[in-house]
Amino acid sequence: MPLSERFFGALDYAARLHAAQTRKGSGVPYVAHLLAVAALVIESGGDEDESIAALLHDAVEDQGGTATAAEIRRRFGDRVAEIVEGCSDTDVIPKPPWRPRKEAHLAHLRVASPSVLLVCAADKLHNARSILDEYRRQGDALWVRFKGGRDGTLWYYGASLAVLKERSANGLVEELERVVAELQAVAGGAGP
């Protein structure tokens, strides 16, 4: 699939929105995550709207809430905005409490579109890979970065995997299953 100027415009917009943001505790510029998620979507056969949504999937919840959602809709259209909104666990600032927000997001995924599921699977896979990699280097000290701590984070990735397996059988979900199983094994966590 050739990418148009819309994709490159979204890349620029996403990079600027997240310019001051880094990955939790690592110092890695946040745009690295956005690029990785977009790459996974593209490699999995996603179309340009899904690829653009992958670049913007955290913009609403991390960079401006409903105002950012409206700007994404204006710049990139309804379909991209709907995918981004479907991947967002909140558009409220400040964010609501962690566990109820994650539970509501999981409930939404149970009825989400295939496009939302594709982008969410790519996001969860890249996040889970990053967590596993960091856990291997830092051990249990890693969990202080996460609002859910060790138990909540392991629960959330296990529960996300369960929903994605029910709704979307693809290579991303299969790889997510392997990574989550390994993370649960090395971090001493139980399944969902």
From the candidates 47, 62, 175, 182, which is the catalytic residue?
A: 62
From the candidates 48, 49, 61, 82, which is the catalytic residue?
A: 61
Contacts of 54 (CB under 8 A, 6+ apart): 34, 37, 38, 40, 41, 42, 46, 119, 122, 123
Q: 3-state class of 45 per DSSP?
A: coil
61 classed as catalytic = yes
Which residues, in sequence order, are bridge partners of residue 29?
22
62 classed as catalytic = yes
Which residues, in sequence order, are bridge partners of residue 22?
29
For residue 139, what are its two tokens?
């051990």
- The dihedrals phi and psi of 22, each to the nearest 5 degrees, come to -125, 165
- The dihedrals phi and psi of 29, each to the nearest 5 degrees, come to -55, 135
Is the sign of the CA dihedral 25, 147, 168, 85 positive or negative? negative
- Catalytic site residues? 61-62
